[in-house]
Structure 1
């Protein structure tokens, strides 16, 4: 199946595996690429050196095109861009809207730029700045998300921009691919569906928790970092929602210290990142891809009442630290298997997924289902 997406990035099938932090590593990305879809390596939970090593590992496993997901507001974003350019990565995707200058720098080096957005105005902005395509996620998607359903948001964006649009949020099979194409999309992107494959490195016990979930077990909460965050309903989420302000701050400091040690990020940089997240949310400036790196679309309500002595209007220090250390909560589950201590970002499709195919099996099945649906549609 050829679409504007397959032509743009050079893959066989119009399917994208999103850049999920702690999940989208070299094994999953290379398995996706070998299956003919576009795998996206999550970089926000890696150091720059780890990113370069991960890119080279993917290269050793596949000759197919793949991409790297970046946080445009990260202090070392340009260093990560240099890795992408120097290592010949085909696609750069973004969890936060990249600047016009960053888009130009990547395009000048021949890199395809695909920002992720959660609103039409964000799509219009990055398209005007030169983005090659845009990934748009509706509220069904996992991680940080908005309130508008994909079926409403997708056609809005398709009508608003003249570049290929990739649809995300609620997709898991061939029927969804055909539906997205009918809206004018050039392909679909999936996170939770690729997380729940045999090629995913997520611990088996965590995968079992996802498979046991129903649609009603996937909720949106602001208790984790103050932004609307779609995830599985767990005791940990309930505890965060019930925690008082002092307890929330203590937990945030502890997890932030852990993330600082793992990532090599300084305390000032973490505070800066947390403030950037919250600032972008208040000003509608953070279209992004949820789930992957603990960062995603803005538009959410502020969590709690904040504090007049906090770092900014309406903000508390616990909110800022929680925003900065959300990756640690994701790591506890996705790497360590601690569903009691971590959070599990999830799209609503978790409630209808009941198996763990390989990436090859999944992509082949989706394309076969799509072909069947197209053949059996009633004539016009």
Structure 2
């Protein structure tokens, strides 16, 4: 069995973390991942405190294993969400879209492990300095809001510059990506899109099928002109966005157009007019499995890859 220091740090069996995807990463999905030996993560997105409290109550009923909560630091409810996580003594908190520094002492007080998501070496070093327990280094291959550097180029550069554990994210869905990430210096991986296509994921079946039916070039980027690029599957919505960007449409208009579009795809199943956020690895995903099957497949595949490399 492949075990790293991330397993001990987060009290999990396998060094696999599920991405905290807004609208997708519910208690049901997170609990299934945790029960299968990884770290399941509830995604807060821009949800208010009451919604997240209900999700935490639910996951505590569904699993006795460790779990995490992903906090988007630009959320209008961030302060009350942080207070809730303090009260609930969340085992792990991952953060994005901001600096969690002002909350660090609260989490240290209750033993919560804090793991920011970073897109650059500079931000990784800053997060280590403020006391992060580990960092998730996310490459541009990921779905949703992205940076510009690839996982393969970014992970080893960060691993060389920090002493805390690095978790690789972006473009990872099987044992090959898992082993490659460890070879680059990571101590674990974060996986998002592969966990969308699972039995326990509550996302609409049309959302899952859009990923399953996608090809290698279907995960495209919109929003570069606004400075907030997003990777999602090409559809009527992305076509409209790209056309408006070519016309130099102002940022406010573009961002207003995107409001509610992720929910439209994930919950309502409108995969043509909604935002089907998914990573470049989508073309590799061809079926829907349980979370346990996904994790066991990754570990078994990783062992085979490792043994084959050693044999060569």
Bin for the TM-score computed over the shorter chain = over 0.9
Q: Answer yes or no: is 1:376 the counterpart of 2:308.
A: yes
Q: Which residue of 2 aligns with 1:104?
A: 105
Q: Answer yes or no: is 1:318 the counterpart of 2:262.
A: no
Alignment of 1:59-74 (within 5 A): 59-74=60-75
CA–CA separation in structure 2 for the residues paired with 1:224 and 1:64: 42
CA–CA separation in structure 1 for the residues paired with 2:171 and 2:42: 21
How far residue 88 of structure 1 moved from its aligned partner, in angstroms, is 2.3
CA–CA separation in structure 2 for the residues paired with 1:378 and 1:9: 29
How far residue 121 of structure 1 moved from its aligned partner, in angstroms, is 0.6
CA–CA separation in structure 1 for the residues paired with 2:201 and 2:30: 9
Are residues 224 and 34 of structure 1, via their aligned partners in 2, closer, same or farther at CA, if it must alter by over 3 Å? farther
Are residues 194 and 225 of structure 1, via their aligned partners in 2, closer, same or farther at CA, if it must alter by over 3 Å? farther
How far residue 9 of structure 1 moved from its aligned partner, in angstroms, is 0.6
Larger radius of gyration: 1
Alignment of 1:108-123 (within 5 A): 108-123=109-124
Contact map agreement 1:97 1:126 (CA 8 A) in 2: no
For normalisation by structure 1, the TM-score amounts to: 0.78
CA–CA separation in structure 1 for the residues paired with 2:137 and 2:248: 28
Match of 1:335 among 267, 271, 290: 267
Q: Which has the higher contact order (CA 8 A, sep 6+)?
A: 1
Alignment of 1:164-179 (within 5 A): 164-179=165-180
Are residues 224 and 21 of structure 1, via their aligned partners in 2, closer, same or farther at CA, if it must alter by over 3 Å? farther
- Segments of 5+ residues of structure 2 without an aligned counterpart are none
CA–CA separation in structure 1 for the residues paired with 2:3 and 2:150: 26
Question: Secondary structure of 2:117's match?
Answer: strand
Choose 218-227 or 137-146, whichever is displaced more: 218-227
Q: Answer yes or no: is 1:360 the counterpart of 2:292.
A: yes
Q: Which residue of 2 aligns with 1:207?
A: 208
Question: Secondary structure of 2:217's match?
Answer: helix
Q: Which residue of 1 aligns with 2:4?
A: 3
Alignment of 1:1-380 (within 5 A): 1-222=2-223, 227-243=228-244, 304=248, 306=250, 316-319=251-254, 321-322=256-257, 326=259, 328-378=260-310
How far residue 46 of structure 1 moved from its aligned partner, in angstroms, is 2.1
CA–CA separation in structure 1 for the residues paired with 2:74 and 2:23: 19
- The alignment's C-alpha RMSD in Å is 2.0
Contact map agreement 1:23 1:334 (CA 8 A) in 2: yes
How far residue 100 of structure 1 moved from its aligned partner, in angstroms, is 2.0
- Segments of 5+ residues of structure 1 without an aligned counterpart are 246-302, 307-315
Task: Give runs of ≥4 in structure 1 deviating > 6 Å.
Answer: none
Question: Secondary structure of 2:167's match?
Answer: strand
Are residues 54 and 342 of structure 1, via their aligned partners in 2, closer, same or farther at CA, if it must alter by over 3 Å? same
